[in-house]
Chains A and B, each alone.
Chain A
Amino acid sequence: MSENNAAAWQALTGRAGERAALLGTEGLPTRRVEAWHYTPLQSLNGVAWQAAPALDEAAVKQRVDALNLPAHDGLLVFANGRFCKSLSHLPACMDVQEYGDGAAVPALLAGRFSAGLNAALRQPGARLHVPAKTDAGLIVMISLTEGEGVSTHLHHSITLEEDARLSLLDIQLGEGQYLTNPQMDVHCADRAHFSHITHQAESREAARLGIISARIGERSNYDSFTLNQGGGVARQEVVSQLSGPFSNTNVNAIQLVDGNRLNDLSSMIHHASPDCTSRQTVRTVLSENGQGVFQGKILVDQIAQKTDGYQMNQALLLSEKAQMNSKPELEIYADDVKCSHGATVGALDEDQLFYLRSRGVLEEQARDMLVQAFLLETVELVEHESLRDYLLKALPGHV
């Protein structure tokens, strides 16, 4: 069956109307599309994805209240792709700007299916603006999705002016077999600092195609961390461009994959200016039939001399049926650069396990301790203490 005859494709292009061209003509990506080789989307084909209906705000409030959130300076709640104004508040220094109807795919995300899908079916999301020399503190954003056969396509835009600071905890969760396709476009002006945590905790039946673009100015820092632990098929895609000198980006992640789920972290770190640094640590823990994907590309332009890049991806396989696919890529056109990368895939160390058990620690607890130890160093990369604590509590078997 041709992919573009599938129920999903008919429904999505129908809803997109005249924007359907943004989706291309090939249907949902199959294994034959290189960028989706390890994360094919055929499983989405059979569903005629409909727009998600509004949710009852009282029920949404209950869900939000039940979350164990760190102390925060602002809260933004979206439910089934709609902004819940009555449940949200922002610090006085920030404003939520009116959403325009721009439906273009940003140049940074050109050719990326998740961005095309978002542009075609875009729903207005957060449009945050942090003024110059302002520290907006910690904002929590919650995107809740519920329903069967429905999809949401929120588009967020975050701008930090010069010398601005912001921390964002971006929590995505829900119930049912739905599709979420959030996009966030980040712009950090010079000397700005944006710490961004994505906690992807979608329903185990859900599909998720999330994508982030970041343009980073001189001496600016975009520090991105993803905890990928939900969704049946879930990709987090981060495209981070160091566009001013002496800027830095971190694209770190933890993926926890169990059951028959697939989690994917795909990233492109683009050094487009000299004297920039990038750091990437991705650790994946796989159990049962879990499948993990890491695709990480570092592109260094000819102009980007003195680039300092580091990439490490490591996976821990807790079952024989679990599978990890790693594809690190370095593309370097400058000659005076330092780029190191490495990848490991392995099981828990039997010697370590025996050592713990010989001290009386029950086998299951010993395994949890070693898994946590594997993840701890990555969580410690998050600078914000209360966000670190939040992440630690989300890990399996936390103390």
Chain B
Amino acid sequence: MSDFLKIEGLKAQIDADGTPKEILKGLDLTIPKGEVHAIMGPNGSGKSTLSYVLAGREDYEVTGGSAHFKGQDLLELEPEERAALGVFLAFQSPVELPGVNNANFLRTAVNAVRKARGEEELDAVSFLKLAREETSRLSMSGEMLKRAVNVGFSGGEKKRNEVLQMRLLKPSLAILDETDSGLDIDALRIVADGVNSLRGPDFSSLVITHHQRLLDYIVPDRVHVMAHGRIIHSGGPEVASLLEKQGYKQFLEAAA
């Protein structure tokens, strides 16, 4: 089965002050196993909504279509079941969790996922060893494990913390929602290395971004252009540089 993630005719809406607002308007997207795809699109095209719907956020109502992952109906699953299945969303704006220790949070998450996948849970000592290896790989200070999750973290530190979680949870589908926003070039490289290190035959990724810059470091197999809640164009990595040079106009006009 080469179709790892298969989205067909997906429609979703959000409640905007009492009136439903349709954001995804019949989206089709297929990502085969082992491939990295990028989605680019103007603001308001529905990119973040797509990532939230795939991760299982409840404030979006799916009104049509389907999304299957590893042959399972993704939309039927709770967010934690999707995580166990291998879906990971790196948030555009990771929330702060005051009072929740980062190391405890990471260990709880890792063990919840391991348990659900039928793997042995990690004890505190072996978890800490693993977490220390991963933080140094991401050039993160070990102090960040002792702090409350994302509290007082800089933008770059929050994104690194997302990549740390991704590395620890070993997803088979990583969705990166504008993970490059607010990163300087060094942080961008570290984040990209984190993703590239997971690339392999059993790892797929959906990289949502505004800029070609990230795609210089995470070279995608395919690039999709999204507008008005749909994929309006798909092509190879060259699409990204085309967009960077010429903007969305030609694709929007062609789709109209």
Q: Residues of B contacting A399 with CB < 8 Å?
A: 104
Contacts of A365 in B (CB 8 A): 108, 112
Inter-subunit contact A369/B108 (CB<8 Å): yes
Nearest A residue to B79 via CB reads: A357
Answer yes or no: B18 CB below 8 A from chain A CBs. Answer: no
Contacting residues, chain B, for A358 (C-beta < 8 A): 55-57, 79-80, 82-83, 88-89
Query: Which residue in B78, B94, B148 is a CB contact (below 8 Å) of A355?
Result: B94
Write the chain A residue with the least CB distance to B90.
Answer: A358
B59: nearest chain-A partner, CB-CB: A350
State the Cβ distance, B231 to closest chain A Cβ, in Å.
24
Which of B8-16, B95-103, B130-138, B199-207 interfaces with chain A? B95-103
Binding-face segment, A154-162, A165-173, A373-381 = A373-381
Q: Is A352 an interface residue (CB 8 A)?
A: yes
The residues of A that contact B148 with a CB separation of less than 8 Å are: 373
| B83 lies within 8 A of A355 (CB) | no
Please tell me if A362 contacts chain B, counting CB pairs below 8 Å. yes
Interface string of A369-393 (1 = CB under 8 A from B): 1101111110000000000000000
Closest B residue to A351 by beta carbon equals B95
Determine if A95 is an interface residue (Cβ-Cβ < 8 Å): no
Q: A354-B57, A357-B80, A360-B112 are in contact. Are A369 and B100 (CB under 8 A)?
A: yes
Distance of A68 from chain B, by nearest CB (Å): 21
Q: Report the bound CA distance from A376 to B112 in whole Å.
A: 22
Is B165 interfacial (CB 8 A cutoff)?
A: yes
With a cutoff of 8 Å between Cβ atoms, the chain A residues found around residue B80 in the complex are 357-358, 360-363, 366
User: Known contacts A360-B113, A360-B169, A361-B112: does B79 contact A354 (CB below 8 Å)?
Assistant: yes
Known: A361-B108, A373-B98. A354 touches B83 (CB 8 A): no
Which B residue sits closest to A377, measured CB to CB? Answer: B99
List of A residues within 8 angstroms of B109 by Cβ:
356, 359-361
Indicate whether B67 reaches chain A with its CB closer than 8 angstroms. no
| Contact A373:B100 (CB < 8 A) given known A360-B84, A361-B109, A365-B112 | yes
Q: How far is the CB of A309 from chain B (nearest CB, A)?
A: 24
Q: How far is the CB of B66 from chain A (nearest CB, A)?
A: 20
Contact residues in A for B78 (Cβ distance below 8 Å): 357, 363
Name the CB-closest residue of B to A357.
B79
Measured CB to CB, the nearest residue on chain A to B96 is: A352
A370 touches B116 (CB 8 A): no
B238 interfacial contact with A, CB 8 Å: no
Interface size on B, residues (CB 8 A): 31
User: B3: which A residues are within 8 A, CB to CB?
Assistant: none
Please give, as numbers and ranges, the residues of chain A lying within 8 Å of B88 by CB-CB distance.
358
Minimum distance in angstroms from A357 CB to a CB of chain B:
4
CB-based contact B165/A359 at 8 Å:
yes
Are the C-beta atoms of B56 and A355 separated by less than 8 Å?
no
B158 to chain A, nearest CB (A): 12
Is the beta-carbon distance between A355 and B112 smaller than 8 angstroms?
no
Mark each residue of chain A from 333 to 367: 1 if its CB lies under 8 Å from any CB of chain B, else 0: 00000000000000001111011111111110110
| A366 closest partner in B (C-beta) | B80
| Residue on B nearest A376 in the bound complex, by CB | B99
Q: Is the CB of A360 within 8 A of B116?
A: yes
A121 CB to closest chain B CB (Å) equals 42
> Of all chain A residues, which has the CB nearest B150?
A355
Q: Could you mark each residue 90-125 of chain B with 1 if its beta carbon is under 8 Å from any beta carbon of chain A, else 0?
A: 010011011110001100111011001000000000
Smallest Cβ-Cβ distance to B117: which chain A residue: A360
Query: Are A370 and B84 in touch, CB under 8 angstroms?
Result: no
Residues of A within 8 A of B59 (CB): 350
B58 at the interface (CB under 8 A from A): yes
Shortest distance between the CB of A380 and any CB in chain B (Å): 9
In the bound assembly, the distance between CA atoms of A373 and B108 in angstroms comes to 14
Chain B residues closer than 8 Å to A369, beta-carbon distance: 100, 105, 108
> Nearest residue in B to A380 (C-beta to C-beta)?
B99
Q: Give bound CA distance, A299 to B105, whole Å.
A: 42
Beyond A358-B89, A361-B108, A399-B104, is A370–B56 a contact (Cβ under 8 Å)?
no
- A355 and B97 in contact, given A360-B80, A360-B84, A362-B80 (Cβ under 8 angstroms): yes
How distant is the Cα of A376 from the Cα of B165 in the complex, in angstroms? 24
For residue A355, give the distance in angstroms from its CB to the closest CB of chain B: 5
Interfacial chain B residues near A375, Cβ < 8 Å: 99
How far apart sit A362 and B83, CA to CA, in the bound complex (Å)?
10
The CA-CA distance from A91 to B55 in the complex, in Å, is: 59
Q: How far is the CA of A376 from the CA of B148 in the complex (A)?
A: 12
In angstroms, Cα B81 to Cα A359, docked, is 10
Contact (Cβ within 8 A) B99 A374? yes
Can you name 14 A-B pairs with beta carbons within 8 Å?
A354-B57, A355-B91, A355-B95, A356-B105, A358-B79, A359-B112, A359-B113, A360-B83, A361-B109, A365-B112, A370-B100, A374-B99, A375-B99, A377-B99
Other than the given A357-B83, A358-B80, A365-B108, 20 more pairs (CB < 8 A) read A349-B95, A350-B59, A355-B95, A356-B105, A358-B55, A358-B79, A358-B82, A359-B105, A359-B169, A360-B84, A360-B109, A360-B110, A361-B109, A362-B80, A362-B112, A363-B80, A369-B105, A370-B97, A373-B99, A399-B104
Counting from the closest, the 10 A-B pairs by CB-CB distance are A373-B99, A360-B83, A360-B113, A359-B109, A357-B79, A360-B112, A376-B99, A373-B100, A357-B80, A355-B95
